[in-house]
Amino acid sequence: MKITLQVWRQDGPQDPGGLHGYQLDEVSEDMSFLEMLDVLNEDLILKGEEPVAFDSDCREGICGMCGLMINGQAHGPEVTTTCQLHMRTFKDGDTITVEPWRADAFPVLKDLVVDRSAFDRIIAAGGFVSVNTGAAPDAHAVPVPKDDADKAFASAACIGCGACVAACPNASGMLFMGAKVTHLGLLPQGQPERDARVVKMVSQHDHEGFGGCTNIGECAGACPKEIPLDVISTLNKDLRTAMRHGR
């Protein structure tokens, strides 16, 4: 296939950046989107132009490192990670626009690479169970109803890619945060810190410059792991409860 790319190029955080056009003549439909960018980069290097910087690592849809706005959609037209998007989704002759995640809390470092460390700081604020190594009781000491464990698992499936933020008109991180709050809130191990967790995480989230949730739902629509929108309701409910408890 022949593909025309409009790729966001930006030298560094201070550079204004802009779209640059490239033409690829031999794209196979079996290529993943990132393999197509690899081919572009090989061409560029041979022409003496600097390759396009983009993040990726596992390339099997689980590490959460990759993430691009493709034709204005987070991870592109399918509900998956960018590495699992294949060129068979596009047509011969298509023009594709490729941009980095757009959010104040995710500054662009170069080209398509953004800084998502705000997510780590939200987890550091309280997204954990405080248990020191070696201090745990036998794993069978606390039974967990299977339904709760399954629901917790569904929320824990979040890979932290940031598509929810990129898709949200308010650049809110509440789906990401709600997934963690729901995961730990459904398990007995997560109860002692439940109130404190949500308060600290929300406070860090706002401090990082993410926007608030206005229930648009783009986040859940773009989430490659299909984290449901109702984790945000759980988050809000936990926050109200924590306030009532005076935390």
Partner 1 sequence: MTDTLSPETLENAGIAHGLYRDGEAIADTKAPKVEVQDRWRTRQFEAALVNPANRRKLTVIVVGSGLAGGAASATLGEAGYNVKTFCYQDSPRRAHSIAAQGGINAAKNYKEDGDSVYRLFYDTVKGGDFRSRESNVYRLAEVSASIIDQCVAQGVPFAREYGGLLDNRSFGGVQVSRTFYARGQTGQQLLIGAYQALERQVAAGSVEMHTRHEMLELVVVDGRARGVIVRDMVTGEVETHLADAVVLASGGYGNVFYLSTNAMGCNVTATWRAHRKGAYFSNPCYTQIHPTCIPVSGEHQSKLTLMSESLRNDGRIWVPKNREDCDKDPREIKEEDRDYYLERIYPAFGNLVPRDIASRQAKNVCDEGRGVGPVVGDFRRGVYLDFAEVIGRQGQAWVAEKYGNLFDMYQRITGENPYEVPMRIYPAVHYTMGGLWVDYDLQSSIPGLFVAGEANFSDHGANRLGASALMQGLADGYFVLPNTIRDYLSHGPYPTVTETHDDVVAAKTSVDDRLRTLLSINGERTVDSFHKELGHVMWEYCGMERSETGLLKAIDLIRGLKDEFWRNVRVLGAADTLNQSLEKAGRVADLIELGELMCIDALHRRESCGGHFREESQTEEGEALRDDVNFAYVAAWEFGGDDGAPVLHKEDLVFDYVHLKQRSYK
- Comparison of 44 and 239: residue with beta carbon closer to partner 1: 44
Residue 3: strand pairing partners: 24
Quick note: the x/- pattern for partner 1 over 176-215, rule CB under 8 A, is -------xx--x-xx-------------------------
The reply to whether 65 sits near partner 1 by the rule CB under 8 A is yes
The answer for residues whose C-beta is within 8 angstroms of residue 102's C-beta and 6 or more apart is 69, 166, 171
- Shortest spacing between CB 115 and partner 1, in angstroms: 7
The reply to whether 56 sits near partner 1 by the rule CB under 8 A is yes
Number of residues that bind partner 1 (CB under 8 A): 76
- Shortest spacing between CB 237 and partner 1, in angstroms: 19
Which range of residues in 51-59, 68-76, 91-99, 166-174 is near partner 1 by CB under 8 A? Answer: 51-59
The reply to whether 39 sits near partner 1 by the rule CB under 8 A is yes
The reply to whether 94 sits near partner 1 by the rule CB under 8 A is no
C-alpha distances in Å from residue 106, one per residue of 29, 48, 175:
31, 30, 16
- Comparison of 128 and 212: residue with beta carbon closer to partner 1: 128
The reply to whether 16 sits near partner 1 by the rule CB under 8 A is no
The reply to whether 48 sits near partner 1 by the rule CB under 8 A is yes
Quick note: the x/- pattern for partner 1 over 100-119, rule CB under 8 A, is ---------xx--x-xxx-x
The reply to whether 144 sits near partner 1 by the rule CB under 8 A is yes
- Comparison of 43 and 94: residue with beta carbon closer to partner 1: 43
